[in-house]
Structure 1
């Protein structure tokens, strides 16, 4: 189990760090530009965090796949890129839909008000939303490794 936790931490932790920074920046910038627009700030924080998170993971998946294919003397193609995107969609699809459209924006809207701190509320919302996000995401990741993360030449 320790090996699995290390694998998940290597995969998700750098993306999480980027996502936290982007979430706070997105929400903070929106609060600054649109005072009193709490819902807009919650959505901006959610989506800024998503772009950073999934951008990092896709970049890492592409880099790893290129390395494997290059070692086997094969090229990385658009089709291979499609496989990377599809694997990511399967890994996060169900968890992400519920997370981005309902859970995370709702928590980011209400928790800053409830705790009396915008940054504190956003961070708490992010942590709570991550719990409901990672359980299905990790299950999907483990299931997708056998079918969707095997590329030509491996």
Structure 2
């Protein structure tokens, strides 16, 4: 089990670090521009974090696919890129729909109010939402590895 945990940490931890920074920056900027718009800040934080998170993962997947194909003397094509995008959609699709449209924005809206701290509430919301996000995401990742992430075919 330890090798799996290391694999998941290598895959997800850098994206999470970028996502935390982007989440706080997105929510903070929204509050700066419209201080009384908590819903706007919750959505801005959610989507800024998503762009950073998935941008990093897609970049990593593209880099790994290019390296694997180059070692075989093959080119990375737009079809390969589509396969990378499809693999991410399979890995995160169900988890992401619930996370981005319901769980995370709701937590980011309510926890800052309940805690009396905007930054503390946003961070707490992010980490609580991550729990409901990673369980189905990791299961989907493991199920999709052989079929969608193997470029040796």
Q: Give the match for residue 129 of structure 2.
A: 129
1:106 alignment partner, SS class: helix
Offset from partner CA, 1:71-116 (integer Å, 9 cap, x none) = 0000000000000000000000000000000000000000000010
Q: Give the match for residue 83 of structure 2.
A: 83
Residue 21 of structure 1 and its aligned partner are, at CA, apart by 0.1
Q: Give the match for residue 73 of structure 1.
A: 73
Residue 146 of structure 1 and its aligned partner are, at CA, apart by 1.3
- Unaligned runs of at least 5 residues, structure 2: none
Residue 124 of structure 1 and its aligned partner are, at CA, apart by 0.2
Correspondence 1:1-154 to 2 at 5 A: 1-151=1-151, 153=152
Find the aligned partners of 1:115 and 1:6 in 2 and give their Cα distance. 33
Q: Report how many residues are paired.
A: 153
Find the aligned partners of 2:141 and 2:72 in 1 and give their Cα distance. 24
Q: TM-score when scaled to structure 1?
A: 0.98
Find the aligned partners of 1:129 and 1:37 in 2 and give their Cα distance. 21
Residue 150 of structure 1 and its aligned partner are, at CA, apart by 1.3
